[in-house]
Amino acid sequence: MGKAIVAVVLFAILLCGVGCDDRQESVFANVKDARASGAVARGWVPNDLPESATDLRERHDLDTNEVWGCSRKARIRILLHSGAL
């Protein structure tokens, strides 16, 4: 019976540790989706990302206020004109 109590207590401690993680991760297809979710308003995704950015990923820690993120920027075609501008 003593071993069963120890096992239950250890299991409860393990569940608490797993359930108390204050790190959250979000994935967005594009900047429009990030804005719609409120991630930009909350400051987790930068407001000045170009609208052409896609595949956004952000991860933040509520305890430390650290934020990590990455995105892919769509190719931008630049047309060069000959002659003076």
Structural domain spans, the chain: 22-73
**Averaged pLDDT of the chain:** 76
pTM: 0.60
Beta bridge partners of 24: 60
> In this structure, are residues 76 and 82 in contact, taking their beta carbons and an 8 Å threshold?
no
With left for phi above 0 and alpha for psi between -120 and 50, is residue 43 left, alpha or beta? left
**With left for phi above 0 and alpha for psi between -120 and 50, is residue 62 left, alpha or beta?**
alpha
Between 10 and 61, where is the model more confident? 61
Distance of CA 74 to the CA centre of its chain: 19
Predicted pLDDT at 12: 63
